[in-house]
A and B are shown apart, each in its own frame.
Chain A
Amino acid sequence: MSWLIDPFTDFVFMQRALLGCLAISLGATPVGVFLMLRRMSLTGDAMAHAILPGAAVGYLVAGLNLGAMTIGGVVAGLIVAVLTGAVARFTTLREDASLAAFYLISLALGVLLVSLKGSNVDLMHVLFGTVLALDNAALILLCAITTVTLATLALIFRPLVLECADPRFLASVSRWSGPVHFIFLALVVLNLVAGFQALGTLMAVGIMILPAATARFWASSISGMLIVAAVAASIASVIGLLMSYHAGLPSGPAIILAAGCLYLLSLGFGPVGSLFTRAFPRPHLDA
């Protein structure tokens, strides 16, 4: 039991890491659930890469400065989101191809900028995060982003669900379709920026998508999925941090791997549409 609790009671940096991870778990996972429901899971990954040059510019200007890198990341992410949407709407190129084009440009630019000035250590920092070294400002930022995300999702919940389930219908009865799509993409960007403070740009998307995919095997309603995803992410955070503490593993990848294990378990044995339920279906009329 002390193996589970002591690291968090004895060390402040573990408490901070835990708080940061829980904030991300609550904010990023609902966004991930909607990404999954909109079949945009890979969009999250692409956007995570798109943020890099913004963070890099912030880094070049102000060094390892939270504010500068955050603002840079948000700006870069929003630019890519807007350009992608505009290209998809006004040209023949589809949204996926258009996003791929912009995020690749963005990623190349980002790596170039980081290597211009920084050392490899800095690059590792940006790519893999610093969850064990979160300062007050970073924690406040993470919690603020989570609060904003949850409040916004609560406000746009109905149009967002309609936009996912039947976009054409929403467009025919209201003007919400465009705005809700963009607000949602902005939330994706915000949460990826939050995630990369702690887990790095490459790992941030993992805490978003893996719990969402896990939830699909446990719940058949949206609200059920949102709850399961948040719980799964929180469990993965705790397990990941403990593994990192006891085995000396890097914490970001440990957390994402823990989330990955939960996903694989659910894929195999979850109650809704998992491999197990498909292989051994219950007799019908026996529900």
Chain B
Amino acid sequence: MALKLRDLTLGYDRHPAVHHLNLDLREGSLTAVVGPNGAGKSTLLKGLIGEISPLEGRIDRSARRLAYLPQLSEVDRSFPVSVGAFVAMGLWHSAGAFGRITGTAAAKVAEALAAVGLTGFDRRPISALSGGQMQRVMFARLLLQDADLILLDEPFTALDTRTAGELLQVVKRWHGEGRTVLAVLHDLDAVRNHFPDTLLLAREKVAHGPTAQVLTAENLFRARQQSEAFVETAPVCDRVELGAA
């Protein structure tokens, strides 16, 4: 298993956003995370990379190295850095704070830029890029990170179909290389067409498994209901064990 979550609860100020989640993620699986707004999808990813600590439960991951694409990137787009230098950040794992950026590294950067359709952009400043181009740059950097577990938070939101399609090919390439990918998505058609597995989340796990079995009308209805019925101000956790009953 690339990732094992046991009774994982994540939240802010003791208010859970992800509630008692159990999950096993196979190595090399390509999984979409789907659910209504406020279902805890982004929180789950933040928990997995360690940006927030679990309130309860455990995260076990066998992955040596993970990469994360946040939903709202905190990249300062006015920062005076070239596309090539920005993408080269993805080589941190091999270069670190003090290592040399070698000629092979430059070749890797060029290769990653080519893979996302930005050949020849390496000397441009990131401030000159469009939103779609910037997302391609983010993907190029992810490519260089060479991670076993890749977490993507709404990677295709606000992209035109062509850009989204090309970046989807990058995701499929990762899948083909045996990397484990977990992507938060809203476009259910894209999920049905391209993602073998799906996790349907509404603070708690509604369903997880092969996409066709998860994305049923009944499950989606339950997810919406469960998300709305959650009592934000409950003084104690009076959750009924679904499996135990």
Contacts and interface: CB of A to CB of B under 8 A. Distances in A.
Are both chains from one complex? Answer: yes
A167 B81 CA distance: 14
Contact of B89 (A166, A171, A176, A225): A166
B80 A37 contact: yes
Given A156-B97, A159-B97, A220-B125, A169 B89 contact: yes
A164 B145 CA distance: 19
Interface in B65-117: 67-68, 70, 73-76, 79-82, 86, 89, 92-93, 95-98
Nearest to A174: B92
B97 A158 contact: yes
B51 interface: yes
Interface in B157-181: none
Nearest to A222: B80
Contacts of A165: 75-76, 79, 81, 86, 89
Contacts of B98: 155, 158
B73 A166 contact: yes
Contacts of A176: 97
A66 interface: no
A173 interface: yes
B74 A220 contact: no
Interface size class of B (residues with CB under 8 A): 20 to 34
Contacts of B67: 172
Nearest to B91: A173
Contacts of A219: 80
A222 B93 contact: no
A161 B82 CA distance: 12
Nearest to A223: B80
Contacts of A156: 97
A173 B51 CA distance: 11
B49 interface: yes
B76 A162 contact: no
Interface in B33-71: 49, 51, 67-68, 70
A278 interface: no
Point out which of A37, A165, A176 has the most chain B C-beta atoms below 10 A from its C-beta: A165
A168 B153 CA distance: 14
A221 interface: yes
Contacts of B75: 165-166, 169
Nearest to A179: B97
A221 B82 CA distance: 8
Contacts of B81: 161, 165, 222
Contacts of B141: 169
Interface string A25-62: 00000000000010100000000000000000000000
7 contacts: A159-B97, A161-B81, A173-B92, A173-B145, A174-B97, A176-B97, A225-B80
Interface of B: 49, 51, 67-68, 70, 73-76, 79-82, 86, 89, 92-93, 95-98, 125, 141, 145
Given A165-B81, A168-B70, A173-B92, 6 more contacts: A37-B76, A37-B79, A166-B89, A167-B74, A172-B68, A173-B93
